[in-house]
Amino acid sequence: MQAYVINLAPAEDRWEQVRARLDAVGMRYTRIDAVNGRALNLPLVDFDEAGHRRRTGRRPIKPEIGCYLSHLRAILEFLDTRDEYGLILEDDALLGPEAIEAIDDALAYRDQWDILRLSSVNRDRYWPAIKLSGGRHLGVSLTRSKGASAYVINRRAAKTWVRELLPMRLAWDIAFDLEFFQGLKAMGVTPLPVRQDARFETHIQKEINTHKLPRTRYFTVFPFRTVYETKRFLSRGLQLLRLRLWPPQALPVSDDLRPISRPESRPADEAPVRSAA
């Protein structure tokens, strides 16, 4: 396994800091040249503006589109390898040895998840289901969990997202948190082992309020939101119930699945590019 670090070219300070953290834990990594959303020209074939307005009640935020396409670019890079699992990181992720240990432990229960969440900008609301080492558990969240700074995916999730999540209609951290619509399973490590570096401001959050449509937006937003939250609660509630009633057995974990302790960086221009301009 290796990490795929999403980083905008001008953000050299972020890159140097996240690279130092990955070197310190001894994990291989590839820098993914992030899509500069501000440089995009709408309309885009990979962005459904009408569908986005109906679901979010907002005008397009270009950096948000760039973020979405950057995550898919990282996923395509992962699919271009033979690895079974990949760690997707945003460049403000504070990752240390405890995160590597948590990933190692979670791989023993890899048949229970396609997506492993390691971070969130929300409070940790995961219901413990499987005990790991170090006082951590694998858990299931019954509510929305925002943020996508650190997560592990398998090839099944990656292939499904590339096929199903284009064109963009929601922010990435919302879209990939609806995995149950694609028949995928998500779990999270609790307590969450990765935090976001608060020193780096996100421009997306600052622009959300200024891009909201009039109050009539709720006529389309609420039906979508009701379906999303109801389906999430029912699907993940059943998932949690099964895990607690029939605890799974740990699987052996071979060395080729674990985070690899050999740092390696690939030039950004080698990353595959989706139609982002």
Q: Where are the domains of the chain?
A: 3-248
Q: 272: how many CB neighbours lie within 10 A of its CB?
A: 13
Per the CB < 8 A criterion, the answer to whether 136 and 191 are in contact is yes
What distance in Å separates the CA atoms of residue 17 and residue 91, rounded to the nearest whole number? 8
Q: How far apart are CA 42 and CA 52, in angstroms?
A: 13
Q: Which residues of 57-76 are buried (b: 16+ CB within 10 A; e: fewer)?
A: bbebbbbbbbbbbbbbbbbb
Q: What is the DSSP secondary structure assignment for residue 91, as one 8-state letter? A: T
- Enumerate residues 6+ apart whose C-beta is below 8 A from 67: 34, 35, 37, 171, 172, 204
- Written as tens digits, the pLDDT of the chain (277 aa) is 999 999 999 999 999 999 999 999 999 999 999 999 999 999 999 999 999 999 998 889 999 999 999 999 999 999 999 999 999 999 999 999 999 999 999 999 999 999 999 999 888 899 999 999 999 999 999 999 999 999 999 999 999 999 999 999 999 999 999 999 999 999 999 999 999 876 545 555 555 555 555 566 678 889 999 999 999 999 999 999 999 999 999 999 988 888 864 334 444 444 333 333 3
What is the three-class DSSP state of 90?
strand
Can you give the pLDDT at residue 16? Answer: 94
Per DSSP, 112 falls in state G
Cβ-proximal residues to 276 (8 Å cutoff; 6+ apart), any chain: 35, 40, 44, 46, 66, 69, 73
> 0.85 cut: is pTM over it?
yes
Q: What is the token pair recorded at 274?
A: 């989706």
Structurally, at CATH architecture level, domain 3-248 sits in Alpha-Beta Complex (3.90)
Per-residue pLDDT at 268: 40
Q: Give the angle subtended at the CA of 121 by the CAs of 120 and 123, to the nearest 5°.
A: 85
Taking every pair of Cα atoms in the chain, the longest distance, rounded to a whole number of angstroms, is 54
The pLDDT of residue 255: 87
The per-residue pLDDT for 122 is: 80
Write down the pLDDT at residue 209. 54
